[in-house]
């Protein structure tokens, strides 16, 4: 299968060739032709599988085809420029985007905008801008005054602009909800419904999510019409190209020594270390810097400018070890990240999946290591239940835990699992916990765990979309 055979406009094919894309990914093969036909889509496939292009290429194709028909397109807000030239206080004419992409975080929004610039680099007069919390108001107004075709936004800030009449969705043709599950987790459901209600009924809607069950599924049904459902073979949580391991640790000093050792792995290019709190992210980044690693912290208390600089340094390879919290690191797409370390386990099994998805990007292999206190064995089991994969326990000579690691995991079948055995290779995960698709014996554990979600108040408040 080639991009040409999907029927994409020649200017897009040229941009993809420049970007080094040789053939579409699985999700792109399925989504692009259906989206070009104008179908609504509900898509779940794993992180790193190329979902951005799956929705952006057909949209750009549509705009490119329209441009060929009508030579005119959105132009900068001329009325406003003219009045400014006359020295009058400009009257702001609302932006009328043709496409809106909603994302849960600023980082993800910027990433989608960057990808759009890349995919649309050979097209004339296509502008994509991001509307984000934390961006200065004049800057946002300046971006909106260009009347961009494509708006990429986090829900909270977008609502502010809608309410003050800066954006008019009457010309909107395409609505995309990227990482819809995450947006709902972050409490954006009311905002999303309000935004959807402000868009024309005739729009095309594409929703992307790790899961299409439950709340996401219900919302998806409400906002789409006769959608095509694309689920890439249970892969939402599988990550077969990522070698996962657990190391049990006795205490903090053991954990730190082990982390330092693992960070010296010669096969490591770049790494993300996940911590539970922003403070830990800072402390550990400082400690690693002193220990001689080029480390930097990334979390929601940092100003947007500082976060962007850190991400740029990571992309350029100047930062080798990024120490980050969940929300700040979500959506980071840096191919050099070979290793992910869970210094602390995530609160929710879904976050584990998103964390390890920071490595193994664009078809490469990755390593994901969790440093786990003995008492946290139960949380590892929850993750295993969620991903339906066992995570092998690894032990490194000289860093052995004093206590037996198997004790807290004794609910597993006896004899089934000793520390050190069952080491899966990159394409050879350990024994599966239960056959994918088989009924779960341990009833409702995943659900109960998820039920704590309402405690996750930090996401929106601290990271602050608004
Ligand atoms: P997702 O949204 O599914 O997590 P992204 O859209 O962020 O995935 O894409 C992941 C990475 O794969 C990006 O670096 C992107 O440039 C790259 N990519 C996407 N499609 C292709 C393709 N067809 N060929 C090569 N690389 C691709
Ligand atoms: Mg994505």
Query: What confidence score (pLDDT) does residue 460 get?
Result: 32
> If pLDDT is split at 50, 70 and 90, which confidence band does 454 have?
very low
Q: How far is the CA of 76 from the centre of ligand 1 (A)?
A: 31
Arithmetic mean of pLDDT, 110-130? 94
Measured distance CA(269)–CA(365) in Å, rounded = 12
- Has residue 446 got a pLDDT over 90? no
Q: Which residues pair with 242 in a beta bridge?
A: 366
Arithmetic mean of pLDDT, 290-308? 93
Alpha carbon dihedral 231, 335, 245, 255, in 10-degree steps, equals -140
CATH class of the structural domain 4-70+78-231? alpha beta
- Considering every ligand atom shown, identify the ligand nearest to the alpha carbon of residue 43 and give its number: 1
Q: How far is the CA of 383 from the centre of ligand 1 (A)?
A: 25
Nearest C-alpha to atom 24 of ligand 1 is from which residue? 21
Whether 5 contacts 27, CB under 8 Å: no
> If pLDDT is split at 50, 70 and 90, which confidence band does 97 have?
very high
Nearest C-alpha to atom 15 of ligand 1 is from which residue? 50
Query: What confidence score (pLDDT) does residue 404 get?
Result: 64
CA angle 456, 283, 375 (to 5 degrees): 55
pLDDT in tens, 213-252: 888 999 999 999 999 999 886 444 567 789 999 999 999 9
Q: How many other C-beta atoms are found inside a 10 Å radius of the C-beta of residue 348?
A: 21
Measured distance CA(166)–CA(176) in Å, rounded = 20
Q: Which two tokens stand for residue 192?
A: 């999303």
Ligand 1, CB cutoff 6 Å, lining residues: 21, 24-25, 28, 47-53, 333, 361-362
Of the candidates 385, 201, 373, 367, which has an alpha carbon nearest to the alpha carbon of residue 271? 367
Among 25, 41, 50, say which to mutate for ligand 1: greatest number of ligand atoms within 8 Å of CB.
50
> If pLDDT is split at 50, 70 and 90, which confidence band does 444 have?
very low
Name the segment(s) of the chain with CATH classification 3.40.50.300. 4-70+78-231, 242-463
> If pLDDT is split at 50, 70 and 90, which confidence band does 445 have?
very low
Measured distance CA(177)–CA(450) in Å, rounded = 22
More confident residue, 263 or 212: 263
Query: What confidence score (pLDDT) does residue 87 get?
Result: 65
pLDDT in tens, 42-87: 999 877 889 999 999 999 999 998 876 665 444 555 555 665 666 6
SS3 call for 177: strand
- Has residue 464 got a pLDDT over 90? no
SS3 call for 295: strand
Q: How far is the CA of 52 from the centre of ligand 2 (A)?
A: 5
pLDDT in tens, 320-377: 999 999 888 877 889 899 999 999 999 888 889 889 989 987 778 899 999 999 999 9
Whether 58 contacts 230, CB under 8 Å: no
Exposed e or buried b per residue across 251-271, where buried means at least 16 C-beta atoms within 10 angstroms of its C-beta: eeebbbebbeebbeeeebebb
Count helices and strands in the chain by DSSP H and E runs: 18, 13
Tell whether domain 242-463 is in CATH 3.40.50.300.
yes
The single-letter DSSP state of residue 95 is B
pLDDT in tens, 178-206: 999 889 988 899 999 999 999 999 999 99
Query: What confidence score (pLDDT) does residue 103 get?
Result: 96
SS3 call for 318: coil
């Amino acid at each position: 299968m080639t991009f040409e055979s999907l029927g994409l406009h020649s200017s897009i094919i040229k941009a993809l060739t420049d970007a080094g894309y040789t053939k579409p990914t699985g999700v792109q093969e399925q989504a692009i032709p259906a989206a070009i036909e104008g179908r609504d889509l509900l898509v779940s496939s794993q992180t790193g599988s190329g979902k951005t292009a799956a929705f952006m290429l057909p949209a750009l194709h549509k705009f490119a085809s329209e441009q060929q028909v009508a030579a005119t397109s959105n132009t900068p807000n001329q009325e406003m420029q003219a009045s400014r030239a006359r020295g009058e206080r400009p009257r702001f004419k609302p932006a009328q985007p043709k496409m809106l992409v909603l994302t849960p975080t600023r980082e993800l929004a910027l990433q989608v905008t960057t990808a759009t610039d890349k995919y649309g680099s050979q097209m004339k007069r296509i502008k994509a801008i991001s509307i984000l919390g934390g961006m200065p108001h004049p800057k946002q107004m300046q971006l909106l005054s260009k009347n961009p075709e494509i708006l990429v936004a986090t829900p909270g800030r977008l609502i502010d602009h809608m309410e003050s009449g800066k954006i008019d969705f009457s010309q909107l043709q395409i609505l995309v909800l990227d990482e819809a599950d995450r947006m709902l987790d972050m409490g954006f459901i009311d905002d999303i419904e309000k935004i959807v209600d402000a868009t024309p009924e005739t729009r095309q809607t594409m929703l992307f999510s790790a899961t299409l069950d439950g709340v996401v599924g219900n919302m998806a049904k409400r906002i789409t019409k006769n959608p095509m459902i694309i689920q890439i073979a249970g892969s939402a949580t599988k990550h077969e190209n990522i070698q996962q391991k657990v190391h049990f640790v006795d205490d903090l000093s053991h954990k730190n020594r082990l982390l330092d050792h693992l960070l010296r792995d010669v096969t490591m290019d770049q790494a993300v270390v996940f911590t539970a709190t922003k403070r830990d992210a800072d402390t550990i980044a400082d400690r690693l810097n002193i220990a001689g690693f080029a480390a930097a912290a990334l979390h929601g208390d940092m100003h947007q400018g500082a976060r962007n600089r850190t991400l740029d340094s990571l992309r350029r390879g100047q930062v080798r070890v990024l120490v980050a919290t969940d929300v700040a690191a979500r959506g980071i797409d840096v191919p050099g990240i070979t290793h992910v370390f869970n210094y602390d386990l995530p609160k929710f099994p879904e976050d584990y999946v998103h964390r390890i998805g920071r490595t193994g990007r664009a078809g490469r292999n990755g390593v994901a290591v969790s440093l786990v206190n003995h008492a946290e064995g139960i949380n590892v089991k929850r993750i295993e239940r969620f991903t339906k994969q066992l995570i092998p326990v690894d032990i490194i000579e000289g860093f052995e835990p004093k206590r037996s690691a198997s004790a807290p995991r004794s609910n597993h079948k006896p004899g089934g699992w000793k520390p050190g055995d069952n080491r899966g290779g990159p394409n050879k995960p350990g024994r599966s916990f239960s056959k994918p698709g088989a009924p779960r014996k341990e009833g409702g554990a995943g659900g109960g765990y998820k039920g704590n979600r309402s405690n996750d108040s930090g996401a929106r408040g601290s990271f602050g979309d608004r």
